[in-house]
A and B are shown apart, each in its own frame.
Chain A
Amino acid sequence: MSFDVAELLTLYEIVNFSFPERYEELIQEIAEKGSRLLGIRRLAIMVDEGGRLICLGKWGFRKGEDFAQRITDPGENGFVYTMSHGLRGLIFLEASARISGREKRLFNIFARRIEDVIALKQMESKIKESEREKKTILDSILELLIYQDAEHRIMWANTSAAKYAGKRSEELTGGLCYETLYRRKEPCAGCPVASALKTGVPQEGLVTPLEGKQFFVRGYPVKSQKGIIEGIVEVCFEVTERIQAEEAFRTIFNSVHDAIFIHEPEGKILDVNETMLRMYGIASKEEAVKLSIARDYSSPDSPLEQLREWWKKAVEGESPRFEWKARRPVDGTVFDAEVCLKKITFAGKEAILATVRDITARKREEELLRSIFGHSPIGMYIVSKGRFRLVNAQFEKLSGYSQEELIGREALSLVYPEDREAVRRNAVRMLKGMAAQPYDFRIITKHGEIKWVEETVASLQHEGQRVTLGNIMDITEKKRFAQKLEYVSLHDQLTGLYNRAYFEEQLKRLGKSNKYPISIIVADVNGLKLVNDTMGHQKGDKLLIACAQILKKALRPSDIVARVGGDEFVALLPRTDEATGSNILHQLRLSIERYNRKHPQLPLSVSFGIATAYNSEELLKQTYRRADDLMYREKLYLGTSARSKIVNALLAALSERDHLTEGHGRRLQHLCRILGEKMGLSRQQLANLSLLAQVHDIGKVGIPDRILFKKGPLTEEEWEIMRQHPEKGYRIALASPDLAGIADLILKHHEKWDGSGYPLGLKGEEIPIECRILAIADAFDAMTSDRPYRRAKTVEEALEEIRRCAGTQFDPKLVEIFLQVILTKEEVSKGQKVAN
Chain B
Amino acid sequence: MTQATDIPKPALRAAAAETPAAPRGAWMRKVTPYLFIAPFVISFLLIFVGPALYALGLSFTNYRGFGSFRWVGFYNYVTMLQYDAFWITLRNTAFYWVAHAAPMMGIALGLALLVRSRLARYRRFFKTTIFLPQMIASVTAALVFQNFFGTTSGVLNGFLGMEIPWLTDPDLAPWAVVLILIWRGTGYWFVIFLAGLTSIDLEIEEAAKMDGANGWQRLWRITLPLMKPILLFAFVVDMVVTWRLFAEPNVLLGRAGTLAPIEQAPVLNLVVENIRAGQFGQAAATGWLLFIIIAVLTFVMFKLIGSKTRGSER
Q: Do A and B bind each other?
A: no
Task: Tell me the A residues contacting B by CB distance below 8 Å.
Answer: none
